A = this chain, B = another copy of it.
């Protein structure tokens, strides 16, 4: 939305990498990517960190992991959708050759978006989409104590809590009633999962304000999911801290792929 976070003029791509480590078999698609690279004069390299551009083939999970892996490298990631939702991907299989050819020719935009930094038991995690603390016992609610910028906000009985970047706002956050954060906002959304108290409403919190989440249950453990992957546990009385991170993810899209276009295609059809 702002001039500093998007750019759409690029020189032709000389080196690219392909990533496809999802659950779905996309070997045929990877071959097609290699063929387009061949035709376009692009050299495929093994390490995404050393490429000019990385092509992620799979669902949103694959694209998220690739974005996370490449944080800080300046290498943008373009997604080819072989998953179910595909909010992050801008190329569909049917148009792989045509659209990827354009991308290799320099026709793409890059979008910088905020990430989250989480601290749990002395370990640090970075999330591109969201950090979730959720009861790890099926059918048992947890009690989560929470605070923002050091101010105690009480305890909520719930299934869990989602802290999401603008990129993640259209994913699990939206399913739980959270707001859509349009690209360009430097903030995170906090949304409870199945809160039993009726006052727990979604909040949007600016950069600089840290969220802390404490497991206030005596006997129910919580899992911490970073971009959908279980990354640790929030045992009773442990605390998880989350804030907007220093690094930014770097997603590549076709020039004509807009946030609202993707939103409408995904949610209103």
Contacts and interface: CB of A to CB of B under 8 A. Distances in A.
How many chain copies does the complex carry?
4
A30 interface: no
B182 A204 contact: yes
Nearest to A138: B223
Given A196-B85, A198-B198, A179 B203 contact: yes
Interface stretch (A10-18, A48-56, A69-77, A205-213): A205-213
A122 interface: no
The secondary-structure label for the interface of chain A is loop
A66 to B, nearest CB: 18
Contacts of A183: 206
A186 to B, nearest CB: 8
A178 interface: yes
A229 B149 CA distance: 35
Closest 5 CB pairs of A and B: A184-B206, A179-B179, A175-B194, A179-B202, A199-B268
Interface of A: 1-2, 23, 84-85, 132, 134, 136, 138-141, 148-149, 151, 153-154, 157-159, 172, 174-187, 189, 193-199, 201-209, 219, 223, 225, 228-230, 258, 260-261, 264, 267-268
